[in-house]
Homo-oligomer: A and B are copies of this chain.
Amino acid sequence: MKKIINDPQNVVSEMLDGLVAANPSLMRVAKNNCVVKIPRARDPSKVALVSLGGSGHEPAHAGYVGYRGLDGVACGAVFASPSVDQIVETAKAVATSKGVLFIVMNYTGDILNTEMAQELLRASGVQSERVIVTDDVAVENSTYTTGRRGIIGTVFVNHIAGVLSTRRISITELKTKAEGAIARIRSGGVCLSPCTIPAVGKPGFEIGEDEMEWFMGIHGEPGIERGKTAPSREIARRILDRIDRDSPFEAGMHYAALVNGSGGTPVMELYILLKDVVDYLSEKGVVLVRATVGNFMTSLEMRGCSISMFKLDDPIYEEVLATPSCIFPLSSSAEHILP
């Protein structure tokens, strides 16, 4: 196992120390692996946004705490749900009189622990709601999931809810808008090489030198097919075809695309994949108003990629996407084009 780490048992805590050092608006909660905004960066008159999940997907989710982003994140061990206590502690640290909205990816552990945390919060007088992200078009049920998995499209949801929360809307309206975004987002990904959980010390699965896995999950959950490695344009086509079957692309409609690397994928390859995404969408006649490329939600050192598509048939989402946040700091609007 070749990794730039110290103690395999302590990677999450050390990683969060580094994350907080890089972000002056963040702090850790007590000794726990939870990250929240520092007090002076909080807005007591808005809904607090809290996310949670296993670690190993950096910068997701803790890296999205900040300006117009999340208010707090409870970080589990690598690929494992955070505890009920962590979720409660994080929510209490940032809760406001407007309440707490949880953004949860659809994994059974995260769902159950959030439910229990919400009960405890209610008993403490903290109002909370939650939205569940289910953007993966791969499979209906999976290793850790009943229903569709939540994957990279969650990054869009974090941004949308983050920006809208700063407009001080009610928790009911914020939940509705976040669920509206979730209903419009679809994702799919492929895997070229496995990753190794530090505390385990060996890869979670094996994959041949000339093989790839189609529609694998972000924790290495099985996809729908193991096949020979394919060129970029075929990867773009198969992922987008599956999204299209689920939610047909409409000519003339506005969309945003997110091309994500799984951690070990060179940036060059992500740009090549985006080119093929653009070519595919051009054939469909859709209008791509925003395309973002990067390592937004990773799976340790896995080589692979995903494509997330966000249908912008409600103008609110396009306007909010053009508003910079710590998640998408570069606007596609004129303010960043004109000096």
The answer to whether A15 touches B55 (Cβ under 8 A) is no
A276 within 8 A of B: yes
Closest to A209 in B: B2
- Cβ contact of A267, chosen from B40, B59, B272, cutoff 8 A: B59
Q: Tell me whether A111 is interfacial, beta carbon within 8 Å.
A: no
Contact A193–B2 (Cβ < 8 Å): yes
The B-contacting residues of A in range 133-162, CB under 8 angstroms, are none
State whether B269 touches A5 (Cβ < 8 A).
yes
The interface stretch among A89-97, A289-297, A308-316 is A289-297
The closest CB in chain B to the CB of A330 belongs to: B329
Q: How far is the CB of A211 from chain B (nearest CB, A)?
A: 9
Task: Given A22-B271, A266-B300, A267-B58, check contact A326 B330 (CB 8 Å).
Answer: yes
Contact between A24 and B288, CB atoms less than 8 A apart? no
CB distance from A53 to the nearest CB of B (A): 13
A112 within 8 A of B: no
B301/A41 in contact, CB under 8 A: no
In the complex, which residues of chain B have a beta carbon less than 8 angstroms from the beta carbon of A192? 2, 4
Question: Digit string of A223-255 for contact with B (CB within 8 Å is 1, else 0)?
Answer: 000000101110100000000000000000000
The answer, yes or no, to whether A338 is at the interface (CB within 8 Å) is: yes
Which residue of B63, B68, B271 is within 8 Å of A15 (Cβ)?
B271
Find chain B residues with CB under 8 A from A267 CB. Answer: 58-59, 63, 263, 295, 298
Range class of the A interface residue count = 35 or more
The smallest C-beta distance from A65 to any residue of chain B, in angstroms, reads 12
Query: Is there an interface contact between B300 and A41, defined as CB atoms closer than 8 Å?
Result: no
- Which residue in B209, B268, B275, B338 is a CB contact (below 8 Å) of A41? B338
Among B18, B273, B324, B339, contact of A4 (Cβ-Cβ < 8 Å): B273
Residues of B close to A336: CB separation below 8 A: 25, 66-67, 326
Q: Is A222 an interface residue (CB 8 A)?
A: no
Which of A4, A209, A265, A303: most chain B CB closer than 10 A? Answer: A4
Are A6 and B301 interface neighbours, CB within 8 A? no
Residues of A participating in the B interface, judged by any CB pair closer than 8 Å: 2-6, 11, 14-19, 21-22, 24-25, 38, 40-41, 43, 46, 55-56, 58-59, 63, 66-68, 166, 192-193, 195, 209-210, 212, 229, 231-233, 235, 259, 263-276, 278, 288, 291-293, 295, 298, 300-301, 303, 305, 324, 326, 329-330, 332, 336-339
Known: A4-B232, A5-B232. 10 other contacts (CB 8 A): A2-B303, A5-B231, A6-B272, A18-B273, A21-B278, A21-B288, A59-B267, A263-B267, A266-B300, A268-B298
